[in-house]
Amino acid sequence: MAEPFDDIFKESRIFGTREALSPHYMPRNLLFRDKQIQEIAKYITPSLRGERGRNLFIYGKTGTGKTSCIKNVVDRIRNLPISKAHISYVNCRIYNSRYRVLHKIVSEYMPVYAKRGYGIVDIYEKLISWIEEDGKVLVIVLDEIDIVRDLDDLIYTLTRANGDMKSGGITIVGISNNVAFKENLDPRSLSTLYENELAFPPYNSNELALILKERAEEGFKKNVIDQASINLAAAIAAKESGDARLALKILSKAGEMAEENGAATISTAEITAAAKSAEEEIAYEVINTLPEHQKLIVYAIALLTIHGSKYKKLSDNGDMYLFSGDVYEKYSSLAKSLEKEPKSARWYRKYISDLDMQGIIMTYESGKGIRGHTKLIKLSYPPEKITESIEKTMSQEA
């Protein structure tokens, strides 16, 4: 009988530096993003000179290089010989409230206040005093900014801080997958923003192929994968959304399949098989990082798909479609049970459109004769996995 850990020290026939296939890996060169890096640097430069710069908001779909570019710029800034400009990178998926964001920043520059026990007002005053003491300018990078629960309060606090300071200032760099996230902000928060905007386009198939080729040279052993397999992975990811993360995940999973099968090379068959699994994993990650109300809508659709609704329509192949009105009713009930104010029907329709565009759901118009003219909705992924995934994140956020 083989021991469970026999393969721990066995050298892989497939993988080289496997980390190079991770979406979190920082390559030496960020292909096809020179323009975006230059734009970010241009917008941040006034703050680095000690001036109060305009805030910057960066948008783009998942896997378009936003975080990699901003981390590249942050690393460069930290190596500059500047005295009064400071930069703080905050992952809002981890630090997802105003208190946690401010506590993280204060802990980074004033470790003596890292211990818990200080209230939001105390932390705010410490931050203001630290900036004012020598006229510092603090650049705060908020990655996945739309995940912050009390985002209105955070933005209002940070932007209003500039009015409370006699010298120095704060500049916000917000990063979001959701181009329209600002539309959810309270007018008082919006009124305090004075920002530039930068959009990241999706990668096309040719760009993804070159990115994957460079990563594969590090990630796999020599001659493990050919250009045809790389091109197929790039084409699949480009067709879905131009998502480099998806493309890398396809390569990594294809490598795992080849290794499990005892193969010495990765074929297009493994790429095709890996794509379906990788797409689902990425989808669940995207769902778990959706804004709160969009996540609740997906949760409502999943629950209705599992347990049924008052009305349902079966398509020719047996798939169940839900009526939009039933989904809105279920979503509203869930929101109220969590003591959240449900969004209006207008916002709900917009969210449904966004979810359809991201491929999380599929919709079509019913036409006349089915409760009038209504929209029919179907999940693109197994509802059981979606409910399990969302419930897990909701319990962690509680």
Q: Is there a single domain that holds both residue 77 and residue 39? A: yes
Asked which of 111-115, 196-200, 220-224, 255-259 is least confident by mean pLDDT, the reply is 111-115
Query: 316: pLDDT confidence band, cut at 50, 70 and 90?
Result: very low
Residue 195 and residue 68 share a domain: yes
Domain count, the chain: 3
Name the nearest CA neighbour of 220 among 11, 10, 12, 15. Answer: 15
Q: Do 350 and 184 touch, CB atoms closer than 8 A? A: no
Specify the pairing of strand 313-314 against strand 195-200: unpaired
- Between CA 50 and CA 57, with CA 51 as vertex, the angle to 5 degrees is 110
Residue 99 scores a pLDDT above 50: yes
- Give the mean model confidence (pLDDT) for residues 65-88: 92
Largest CA distance in the chain: 73
Q: Which residues contact 147 (CB under 8 A, 6 or more apart)?
A: 92, 93, 96, 289, 291
Higher pLDDT, residue 318 or 130: 130
**Separation CA 383–CA 259 (nearest Å):** 31
For the record, the structure tokens of 250 come out as 């396809």
> Do 138 and 158 contact (CB within 8 A), yes or no?
no
Please tell me the predicted confidence (pLDDT) of residue 226.
97
Q: What is the mean pLDDT of residues 16-33?
A: 94
- Give the model confidence (pLDDT) of 323-337 as tens digits: 999 999 999 999 999
Domain that holds residue 257: 203-287
pLDDT at 267: 95
Q: Which of 200, 224, 243 is where one domain is finished?
A: 200
In-domain check, residue 104: yes
What rounded mean pLDDT belongs to the chain?
89
CATH code, domain carrying 218: 1.10.8.60
Q: Which pTM value belongs to this model?
A: 0.82
**Quick one: CA dihedral 14, 18, 21, 27, positive or negative?**
negative
Give the containing element (helix H, strand E) for 119.
none
The residue among 176, 200, 224 that closes a domain is: 200
